[in-house]
Structure 1
């Protein structure tokens, strides 16, 4: 494991070695095994609560992660939905997080305002993820501990504005004063160093980590990612204004056709976007069907490796970038 190169507000807040957050990936993908590997390698990961709808199964994941990290702090991803059933489940999850003394949460979707009091009371740090700086300003006023701003390059849900991560990284530090992470298309240490130089406190990586050995997804799919160059990334579900950046497979092409036809009824989309298709693809390695989160940063995922080995490469690259900056300095 590489020595710490940077000390930021987020490394200090979370007690982590490197300013690297590994965002929650799909229901059940970011589980205890993967998140523990991220934490043990010096970053912060988030178990996706939506992947464990049964309360006791969710609690078991938290306890397993704590055991695997020898008691180190770890995070949980909470998706905030406006549906009544989802709200009840969210309240139950927050109660379990408090009982299990989880360190932090990555909230996304709707506003975290409704769960902030309970999370604060439990001493849980809240990092809210947004797709544009305009939302970062709003959530900062709510009193979250940090904000994560993702650009259009991110796999998963980049929002509707199509603003690049490069622009977000330069703009967000001017707009908010709270600790800040930038995500979307990030997979190298030079990007980490550049993002910190622009004023952020950490980066968020997702697609780059899909080849981690500790993820349970099928080796055939990981090998496909290693062979890919990121050009198979496409944004679909634009007709529903639920933009989703995924692998351009058969399901994505069907959804893109619905978008082009002006479809607005979710039932027409349902056969192509069901979560069961995605889970089956990850289990079998057959990636023809399913909404598979896929950002262009997979171009950097050039080998199936442990999380620690990936982090080592990132930090070595960051150190080279810092040296290059020193070499480029004018004598005057």
Structure 2
């Protein structure tokens, strides 16, 4: 593990060595083994709660992660759904987090207001992920501990505004006083250094980490990412205003056709966006079907490596970037 290069409000708040967050990748990609590897390398990772719908299986993942990290703090990704049926499940997940002494959560989706009291009472740090600075202001007013602002470059859900990560990184620190992480298209230490210089406290990575050895997804899919150059991503589901940046495979092309035709009924989309298709792709390595979160930072994923090796490369690159800046002053 590299020595600490940067001390920020987020490294201090989370008790981590490096200002690198590895966001939850779903549906169950970010599991205990992967998250533990991130934590042991000095960053912070998040187990995706939605990937383990059975409460006992979810609790088992938390306990496994604690064992693999030798008791270090780790995080959980909580998706906040606006649907009434999801509320009960969310409350149960938060209850388990409190019982298992989880250190922090990465919340996303709808407002986290309904679960903030339970999370605060349990002493769990709350980092709320948003796709635009306007939502970061709202989250800060609610009293979350930090915000993660993702730009249009992010794999997964970049929101509907199409604002780049470069703009978000410069804008968010002007508008929000709480700690800030920036995500979307991040995959190098040069970007980490630049983001910190613009006023952020950490970066969030997802697509760049898909080639980590510790991820259970099929090796053939990882090898595909290594061969690709990041131009294979496309934003779909625009007809539903649920913008989703994914690998431009057969499913994505079918969804794009529905978008172009003006479809706005989810039932037309359902056959192409079912989570089971993505799971099958990760299990088999056949990436032709499924909504596979995929951002342009894949261009930086040049080989399949352990998590620690990836983070070390990023930190070394950040150090070189700082040295270069010093020569320009």
TM interval, short-chain normalised: over 0.9
Structure-2 residue corresponding to 1:171: 171
**Superposed, which structure 2 residues align to 1:17-56 within 5 Å?**
17-56=17-56
Deviation of the 1:72 alpha carbon? 0.1
2:255 pairs with 1:255: yes
What's 1:295 paired with? 295
What is the total number of aligned residue pairs between the two structures?
Answer: 329
Once the 2 structures are TM-superposed, how far is the Cα of residue 164 of structure 1 from its aligned partner? 0.1
1:2-49: CA deviation from partner (whole Å, max 9, x where unpaired): 111000000000000100000000111000000000000000000000
TM (norm. structure 2) is 1.00
Who is 1:264 aligned against? Answer: 264
Q: Indicate the SS of the match to 1:268.
A: helix
Corresponding position of 2:115: 115
Find the aligned partners of 2:170 and 2:141 in 1 and give their Cα distance.
20
Q: Aligned residue for 1:226?
A: 226
Q: Secondary structure at the match of 2:149?
A: strand
Alignment of 1:172-211 (within 5 A): 172-211=172-211
Question: In 1, Cα distance between the equivalents of 2:8 and 2:70?
Answer: 24
Counterpart residue number, 2:280: 280
Output the CA distance in 1 between the equivalents of 2:289 and 2:59: 31
Superimposed CA distance per residue, residues 96-118 of structure 1 (whole angstroms, 9 cap, x where no aligned partner): 00000000000000000000000
Determine the C-alpha separation between the residues in 2 that align with 1:270 and 1:285: 22
Instruction: Give the aligned partner of residue 94 of structure 2.
Output: 94
Where 1:29 maps in the other structure, the secondary structure is coil
After TM superposition, give the deviation of residue 258 of structure 1 in Å: 0.1
* Partner residue, 1:68: 68
Cα distance in 2 between the residues matched to 1:159 and 1:206: 16
For 2:35 and 2:85, the matched residues in 1 are separated by 27
Note if 1:323 corresponds to 2:323: yes
Distance, in Å, in 1 between the alignment partners of 2:276 and 2:123 is 35
1:166-219 per-position Cα deviation (integer Å, ceiling 9, x unaligned): 000000000000000000000000000000000000000000000000000000
Aligned-residue CA RMSD (Å): 0.3
Gaps of 5+ in 2: none
- How big is each residue's C-alpha offset from its partner over 1:277-307, in whole Å with a ceiling of 9 and x where there is no partner? 0000000000000000000000000000000
Superposition deviation, residue 85 in structure 1: 1.9
Aligned to 1:146: 146
SS at match of 1:290: coil
**Residue 125 (structure 2) aligns with:** 125
Give the superposition deviation at 1:84. Answer: 1.9
Measured after TM superposition, the shift of residue 83 of structure 1 is: 1.4
Q: Structure 1, unaligned stretches of length 5 or more?
A: none
**Cα-to-partner distance string for 1:245-303 (whole Å, 9 max, x where unaligned):** 00000000000000000000100000000001000000000000000000000000000
Equivalent position of 1:7 in the other structure: 7
Q: Distance in 2 between matches of 1:86 and 1:68?
A: 30
Residue 246 of structure 1 aligns to a residue whose secondary structure is strand
Distance 2:136 2:127 in 1: 11
Matched residue, 1:137: 137
